[in-house]
Structure 1
Amino acid sequence: MINEVFALFKLNYHNQFSAAFPDTDTLHHAKRLWLEALSAFAPEQIMAGAKRAILQSEYLPTVHKMLTLCAAGENGLPESRAAYREACNAPSPKASHNWSHPAVYHAGREANWFFLANNPESVAYPVFAEHYRKICARVLEGEQLAPPRQEKLEQNPGKPLSKAENAKKLAELRAELKL
């Protein structure tokens, strides 16, 4: 797959490609580096990332950019500031919102929803951005983030105790705690 990606880049970024890889030794070293860096991704993800690079950038991508593009998937890892805005503007309950990527939800949860909602952007954005950067790094290493889950209420909450049963439980608790 790496050979196919490099062939695709050679066709699309011909002058830049020739300048970046002037000889076969450089090309082979670059391919080894890319193979090692992108090993966490399936061949289909790597090719999809390469096609995204061609569509989104007029410049030959770096390994770091390819990691981001491969991890993007169909719905993509949004840019940090866009992720921050999405996290701040998402309605409650947060888990039921249709997130552009689970990384945005997890970064918002880590940064604390209350903190994001009650602090100015100049204070909240750096905190969110740091959490988002760490989560994106995990995604780029191949970790699959769990989608947000909305906690559900009990199906059968049970029936309340009678006054006599409550008094009996309270007496047992007092005896157990020696009150």
Structure 2
Amino acid sequence: MKNNSKMIEKVVSEIEASSTRYQTEAGPLEEQKYQSDRIDTVNQIFALFRLNYHNQFYSAFGDNPKSENLAKKLWLDTLDNFSSETIYFAARNVIAESEYLPTLNKMITECRKRVFLSGLPDPRQAYLEACNKNSPKIQQTWSHAIVYLAGRDCGWFYLANTPEYQALTEFKKIYTKYCSGLQAGITYSISKENSKPISKPGNSDKALAKKHLTSMKKMFN
């Protein structure tokens, strides 16, 4: 425990001093080439990688500051088209989802995902938007077409009559597929051809409602 505490304290102190230290090592030419916020961000994410992927990190870089700094310079150069915020949150996402120290190629992929989907609401925000829009849904203004399409495919009747802990799970599955479609280059739009009758629940809505009622009955049996 003491060793872990010391290591955490060391990482925190390095994060605080990272920008100043790296600028000194880089020199004036590198300072002109790389913005100071990106330098600070790359230092921060390397410190976080060291903390979260301790053994893998030292296997990759050893206890050699020169080797680590060469890697940082490569990352700064390669990720130069991405904002510091994009780089930082892409790294945090990798840490949350992967047990393995990311390669530079993995980071590029994660950064591209964040840039491409940065204008989209997250699944719960999209779910709440779909639930709270007035009817007729197709006539409303949406943050993105796929929010409407995900709500439509999930079923407006189902969304309106199902507890969030159940409905959000179903909505998220559909919404995520549309997000993947966007990443694959598919263009989505809202048109009358995409709409469903709103005067009464459709067949899919009825089936979902029946499924919901059945599950509710089981809860009270």
TM range (shorter): 0.5 to 0.7
Q: Are the aligned partners of 1:17 and 1:60 in contact in 2 as well (CA < 8 Å)?
A: no
Identity %: 30
1:124-163 matches, within 5 Å, as 124-144=167-187, 146-150=188-192
Q: Are the aligned partners of 2:90 and 2:111 in contact in 1 as well (CA < 8 Å)?
A: no
| Structure 1 residues 84-116: Cα deviation after superposition (integer angstroms, max 9, x where no partner) | 100000112212222112221121111111211
- What amino acid sits opposite 1:108 in the alignment? G
Distance 1:14-1:52 versus aligned 2 partners, 3 A rule: closer
1:9 and 2:25 equivalent? no
TM-score scaled by structure 2? 0.44
Larger RCO (CA under 8 A, 6+ residues apart) = 1
> What corresponds to 1:98 in structure 2?
141
Q: Are the aligned partners of 1:96 and 1:148 in contact in 2 as well (CA < 8 Å)?
A: no
Distance 1:17-1:117 versus aligned 2 partners, 3 A rule: same
Two-structure CA RMSD over aligned residues (Å): 4.0
Give unmatched runs, 5+ long, in structure 1: 36-45, 152-179
Q: Are the aligned partners of 2:90 and 2:114 in contact in 1 as well (CA < 8 Å)?
A: no
> What corresponds to 2:117 in structure 1?
72
Kindly state the Cα deviation for residue 60 of structure 1 after the two structures are TM-superposed. 5.8
Aligned counterparts of 1:85 and 1:127: Cα–Cα separation in 2: 13
Give unmatched runs, 5+ long, in structure 2: 1-32, 50-56, 62-66, 95-106, 194-221
Q: SS of the counterpart of 2:153?
A: helix
Q: Which has the higher helix share?
A: 2
Aligned counterparts of 2:161 and 2:169: Cα–Cα separation in 1: 14
TM-score scaled by structure 1? 0.53
- What amino acid sits opposite 1:115 in the alignment? Y
> What corresponds to 2:22 in structure 1?
none
Kindly state the Cα deviation for residue 16 of structure 1 after the two structures are TM-superposed. 2.3
Distance 1:11-1:105 versus aligned 2 partners, 3 A rule: same
Aligned residue pairs: how many?
Answer: 129
- What amino acid sits opposite 2:86 in the alignment? A
Q: Are the aligned partners of 1:99 and 1:105 in contact in 2 as well (CA < 8 Å)?
A: yes
Larger Rg: 1
